[in-house]
Amino acid sequence: MDIRTIATQPFNDQKPGTSGLRQTVPTFQKPNYLENFIQSIFDSQDNYQGKRLVLGGDGRYYNRTAIQTILKMAAANGVGRVLVGQGGILSTPAASCLIRKYQAFGGIILSASHNPGGPEGDFGVKFNTANGSPAPAEVTETIFAKSKAIQEYQILDADDVNIDQLGEYQLGEMTVEVVDPVADYADLMASIFDFDAIRKLLASGFSMVMDSLHAVTGPYAKEILENRLNAPAGTVRNSEPLEDFGGGHPDPNLVYARELVETMYGDNPPDFGAASDGDGDRNMILGRHFFVTPSDSLAILAANADLVPAYAKGITGVARSMPTSQAVDRVAKQLGIDCYETPTGWKFFGNLLDAGRVTLCGEESFGTGSNHVREKDGLWAILFWLNIIAKRGQSVEEIVKEHWQTYGRTYYSRHDYEGVDKSSATKLMDNLRSGLSDLPGKQFRGYEVTLADDFSYTDPIDGTTAEKQGIRIVFKDGSRIVFRLSGTGTHGATLRAYLERYEPNQDQQNQNPQTALADLIQIADEIAQIKTFTGRDEPSVIT
Ligand code: G1P
Ligand code: ZN
% of the chain with per-residue pLDDT over 70: 100
Residue 1 has pLDDT above 90, yes or no: no
% of the chain with per-residue pLDDT over 90: 96
Instruction: Tell me the CA–centroid distance for residue 367 and ligand 2, in Å.
Output: 8
Query: Across the beta sheet with 471-475, what order do the strands follow?
Result: 443-444, 447-454, 471-475, 480-485, 493-503, 409-420, 541-542
Residue 527 has pLDDT above 80, yes or no: yes
> 128 with 135: CB under 8 angstroms?
yes
pLDDT tens profile 353-378: 999 999 999 999 999 999 999 999 99
CATH of 3-181, one of 3.90.650.10, 3.10.450.50, 3.40.120.10, 3.40.920.10: 3.40.120.10
Q: What topology does CATH give the domain 185-407?
A: Alpha-D-Glucose-1,6-Bisphosphate; Chain A, domain 3 (3.40.120)
Locate the ligand 1 atom nearest the alpha carbon of residue 487 and give its number.
16
Question: Which contiguous run of DSSP H or E holds residue 98?
Answer: helix 92-101
- Ligand 1, atom 4, lies closest to the CA of 345
Locate the ligand 1 atom nearest the alpha carbon of residue 114 and give its number.
12
Q: What is the pTM of this model?
A: 0.94
pLDDT tens profile 209-260: 999 999 999 999 999 999 999 999 999 999 999 999 999 899 999 889 999 9
Average pLDDT over every residue of 492-507: 95
Domain ranges of the chain: 3-181, 185-407, 409-542
Radius of gyration of the chain (CA): 23
d(CA 347, CA 525): 31
Residue 398: count of CB within 10 angstroms of its CB:
14
> 139 with 46: CB under 8 angstroms?
no
Average pLDDT over every residue of 128-141: 93
3-181 and 185-407: identical CATH topology: yes
pLDDT at 489: 73
| pLDDT mean across residues, the chain | 96
pLDDT at 17: 84
- Ligand 1, atom 10, lies closest to the CA of 345
Residue 401 has pLDDT above 90, yes or no: yes
Spatial CB neighbours of 148, under 8 Å, sequence gap ≥ 6: 10, 12, 14
Known catalytic residue: 276? no
- Ligand 1, atom 2, lies closest to the CA of 365
pLDDT tens profile 12-50: 999 998 789 999 999 999 999 999 999 999 999 999 999
Active-site position among 113, 365, 424, 479: 113
Residues lining ligand 1, Cβ inside 6 A: 18-19, 113, 321, 344-346, 363, 365, 367, 486-489, 496
493-503/541-542 β-pairing: unpaired
- The best mutation among 363, 375, 414, 418 to test binding of ligand 1, ranked by most ligand atoms within 8 Å of the C-beta, falls on 363
CATH of 409-542, one of 3.40.50.300, 3.40.640.10, 2.60.40.1530, 3.30.310.50: 3.30.310.50
- The best mutation among 126, 216, 320, 344 to test binding of ligand 1, ranked by most ligand atoms within 8 Å of the C-beta, falls on 344
Average pLDDT over every residue of 262-282: 97
d(CA 235, CA 383): 14
pLDDT tens profile 421-469: 999 999 999 999 999 999 999 999 999 999 999 999 999 999 999 999 9
Locate the ligand 1 atom nearest the alpha carbon of residue 365 and give its number.
9
Burial group, residue 278, by CB count within 10 angstroms (0-12, 13-18, 19+): buried
Q: What is the DSSP letter of 215?
A: S
